[in-house]
Amino acid sequence: MTASEIRELLRWATADVISFGGGMPDPSTFPIEDIAKIVAYVLEAYPHKALQYGSTEGVLELRQEIAKFSESFRGIRARPENIIVTVGSQEALELLGRVFIDPGDVVITENPTYLAALQAWRVYQPRLVGVPMDEHGMVVEILEERVKQLKAEGARIKFIYTIPTAQNPSGLTMSQDRRKYLLEVAERFDLMIVEDDPYSYFLFEPIEVSPIKALDKNDRVIYLSTASKIFAPGFRLGWVIAKEDVVKWFNLAKQSLNLNTSNFVQYIFAEGLRRNVVLKNLPHVRDLYKRKRDAMLAALETYMPPGVSWTRPSGGMFIWVTAPPHIDTKELLKTAVTQYKVAFVPGHGFFVDQSVRNAMRLNFTYPSFEQINEGIRRLAMAIKGA
């Protein structure tokens, strides 16, 4: 059962299935009225630019707004030349594979890590090396050992991929000390870091961390983020902040993929940033997601049998659940969907070696509070019945 088979299975799920699969925002968070006003303005003020072809790197006005937003809100200094706009973060993951990975090259990731990143890169046949996490995120001591070994073997390490804040799928956040240590290791061994940062907008706890990119003096970090979680996923907008060389390589590769990202949606998001729609909206969204996380944690506490454990995510969109060792969550998914009418993503695909078979990822942002409670009740029954 591959990720696409799971997609198929989740797609066949009937309307009465409560889904904790996917990673969708709550649609009530979409700034619909702001967007309607902005679109009317864009089509009035500069329709010929918004509806025309655009440049591969993206609309200049948007890259300027992203630069401002990143500096004021994330502490990342970048000029428009350091930014390329992508069709969601997924395209940035594809570009990383296409530009950097030759067969046999090493890519180091947290283990587990984002399933769709692994999928995008497997086409390019890297050797994937996973580093375990603890409650402070990736264990950089272990990373350092692995890098030493790999270097001794003569391996070509292309980059270290991390989702340091509210990681997908674990929900864990890397401590500030670990971030500095990671950057130090990268400096020492002359490595690139890819920092994927879709979730740091939604930290529920007062954790003081900065993006690794904000600490990056020597352009070692390729930073990825997205409008999908803070504006609307329906626009398919992401961006990469990196040194100019990387942006130029990505630009070349992107020309073949799709020439350019939709100008229309880029101008809308640029105007959204300019009007401060994102920052205005965030506190409400963060509060909603925190309450949904708490509702799911409470339901897990209430319904789950002994032997089931889960993370308490510091932010983001997911809780990572570990079932008793005798349960294979791929098998469980079939009965969960068909008999118990509840869905989730089995954990297997998040591991570089598919080594763990009893984990699953649950999304808490999309389902309603009622669905969270009822869905976890059903899932607990499915686990008890397995």
- The footprint of its own copies (CB under 8 A) covers 3-4, 7, 11, 22, 24-25, 27, 30, 32, 35-36, 39-40, 43-44, 47-48, 50-56, 86-88, 90-91, 93-94, 98, 116, 119-120, 123, 228, 232-236, 252, 255-265
Structure tokens at 259: 């020439």
Q: Least distance (Å) from its own copies to the CB of residue 23? A: 8
Q: Which residues contact 330 (CB under 8 A, 6 or more apart)?
A: 1, 346, 348, 357
Q: Least distance (Å) from its own copies to the CB of residue 80? A: 14
Contact 333, 348 (CB under 8 A): no
Q: Least distance (Å) from its own copies to the CB of residue 121? A: 9
Q: Least distance (Å) from its own copies to the CB of residue 289? A: 16
Q: Least distance (Å) from its own copies to the CB of residue 6? A: 11
Angle (CA) 372-376-379 rounded to 5° is 140
CA–CA separation, 69 and 63 (whole Å): 10
> Of 258 and 309, which CB lies nearer to its own copies in the complex structure?
258
Q: Least distance (Å) from its own copies to the CB of residue 95? A: 10
Q: Least distance (Å) from its own copies to the CB of residue 228? A: 7
Structure tokens at 283: 């506190």
CA–CA separation, 233 and 366 (whole Å): 12
> Of 54 and 313, which CB lies nearer to its own copies in the complex structure?
54
Reference 318, options 356, 285, 350, 364; nearest CA is 364
Give the torsion sign (CA, 112, 117, 123, 129).
Answer: negative
> Of 45 and 298, which CB lies nearer to its own copies in the complex structure?
45
CA–CA separation, 267 and 61 (whole Å): 8
> Of 233 and 290, which CB lies nearer to its own copies in the complex structure?
233
> Of 82 and 90, which CB lies nearer to its own copies in the complex structure?
90
Contact 369, 295 (CB under 8 A): yes
> Of 118 and 297, which CB lies nearer to its own copies in the complex structure?
118
Q: Least distance (Å) from its own copies to the CB of residue 49? A: 8
SS3 308: coil
Query: CA 207: distance to chain centroid?
Result: 19
> Of 32 and 298, which CB lies nearer to its own copies in the complex structure?
32
CA–CA separation, 303 and 339 (whole Å): 18
Q: Least distance (Å) from its own copies to the CB of residue 9? A: 14
SS3 238: strand
Structure tokens at 351: 């591991």
> Of 314 and 365, which CB lies nearer to its own copies in the complex structure?
365
Contact 207, 314 (CB under 8 A): yes
> Of 138 and 232, which CB lies nearer to its own copies in the complex structure?
232
CA–CA separation, 321 and 171 (whole Å): 11
CA–CA separation, 128 and 207 (whole Å): 30
